[in-house]
Amino acid sequence: MVYIEYDGIIVKGVGGAYVVLATDGKHYTCTPRGIFRNRNTTPLIGDYVAISVTDQVKELATLHTIKPRKNQLRRPPVANIDQAIITVSTAQPSFNAGLLDRFLVLVALEDIPVLVCVNKTDMESNVDEFATYANAGYPLVYTSAETSDGLQALREKMAGKINVFAGPSGVGKSSLINALMPNLGLATGELSAKLGRGKHTTRHSEIFPLGEKPADGYCVDTPGFTSLDVEIPKQELGSLFLEFREFSPLCRFSNCLHVKEKDCAVKDAVGQEISTQRYESYVKMVQGQSKF
Q: Which among ligand GDP, Zn ion, none contacts residue 120 (Cβ within 5 to 8 A by kind)?
A: ligand GDP
Q: Which among ligand GDP, Zn ion, none contacts residue 251 (Cβ within 5 to 8 A by kind)?
A: Zn ion
How many C-beta neighbours within 10 Å does residue 136 have?
Answer: 18
Under a CB-based contact definition with an 8 Å cutoff, are residues 100 and 134 in contact? Answer: no
Q: Is 122 in the site for ligand GDP (CB under 6 A)?
A: yes
Under a CB-based contact definition with an 8 Å cutoff, are residues 82 and 158 in contact? Answer: no
CA 108-115-264 angle, 5° bins: 45
CA–CA separation, 284 and 265 (whole Å):
19
Residue nearest ligand GDP (C-beta atom): 172
Burial of 16 (0-12, 13-18, 19+ CB in 10 A): exposed
Q: Which among ligand GDP, Zn ion, none contacts residue 146 (Cβ within 5 to 8 A by kind)?
A: ligand GDP
Q: Is 153 in the site for ligand GDP (CB under 6 A)?
A: no
Q: Which of residues 181-210 bind ligand GDP (CB under 6 A)?
A: 188-190
Q: Is 169 in the site for ligand GDP (CB under 6 A)?
A: yes
CB of 79 to ligand GDP, least distance (A): 23
Q: For residue 175, is it left (φ>0), alpha (ψ between -120 and 50) or beta?
A: alpha
> Which of 217/223 has CB closer to ligand GDP?
223
Chain residues binding Zn ion by CB under 5 A are 251, 256, 258, 264, 266
In the complex, the residues that contact ligand GDP under the rule CB under 6 A are 119-120, 122-123, 144-146, 169-175, 188-190
